[in-house]
């Protein structure tokens, strides 16, 4: 890719992310970074392929869910037991990742979100629901943006197929 083209793409990325943050602020999204982590994971590990979007979404949600187990379980079974359940879930997830099993839900997205969502500052300051909403916002915004060129290409292909040879 030429330097000029790369600068143009960089400019487009800056504008799209700025628009995302403006929209996130307008709707009161508390954890917009989760959307950017989703974008990073999906773009770098799955090359923003639309057919890989469900895998990234389910993996991200699974990672946040595992990380959220102590928050969800502490009121009913206590902090120590909630943490123990989470650690057992982490062991199961890592085992499944190593074995290559359950790849739709246990994948690099799972591990990325599990790692970040267990950062002490995040576990203390962020509510699990806000993390999930951040992921949903990223899927809707960035997934929607990625779907536009695919839909246009599909439409153009349909138009050219209908044209006379």
Residue 101 is given by DSSP the state -
CB 40 within 8 A of CB 50: no
Structural domain boundaries of the chain?
Answer: 31-162
pTM of the model: 0.90
Q: How many CB atoms lie within 10 A of CB 77?
A: 13
CB 62 within 8 A of CB 45: no
Helix (H, G, I), strand (E, B) or coil at 31: coil
Tens digit of each residue's pLDDT (9 = 90 or more) over 26-84: 999 999 999 999 999 999 999 999 999 999 999 999 999 999 999 999 999 999 999 99
Tell me the C-alpha distance between 60 and 107, whole Å. 9
Tell me the C-alpha distance between 92 and 106, whole Å. 10
User: Rounded to the nearest 5 degrees, what angle is found at the Cα of 54, between the Cα atoms of 122 and 104?
Assistant: 85
The reported pLDDT for the residue numbered 42 is 97
Average pLDDT over residues 105-119: 98
């Amino acid at each position: 890719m030429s330097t000029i083209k790369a600068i143009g793409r960089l400019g487009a990325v800056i504008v799209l992310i700025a628009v995302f943050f403006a929209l996130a602020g307008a709707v009161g999204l508390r954890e917009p970074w989760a959307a950017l982590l989703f974008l990073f994971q999906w773009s770098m590990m799955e090359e923003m392929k639309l057919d890989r979007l469900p895998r990234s979404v389910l993996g991200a949600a699974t990672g946040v869910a595992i990380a959220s187990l102590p928050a969800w379980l502490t009121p009913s079974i206590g902090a120590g037991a909630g943490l123990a359940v989470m650690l057992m879930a982490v062991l199961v997830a890592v085992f499944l990742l190593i074995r290559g099993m359950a790849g739709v839900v246990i994948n690099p997205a799972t591990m990325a979100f599990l790692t970040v969502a267990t950062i002490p500052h995040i576990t203390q300051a962020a509510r699990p629901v806000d993390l999930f909403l951040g992921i949903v916002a990223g899927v809707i915004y960035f997934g929607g943006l990625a779907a536009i060129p695919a839909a246009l290409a599909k439409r153009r292909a349909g138009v050219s197929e209908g044209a006379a040879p």
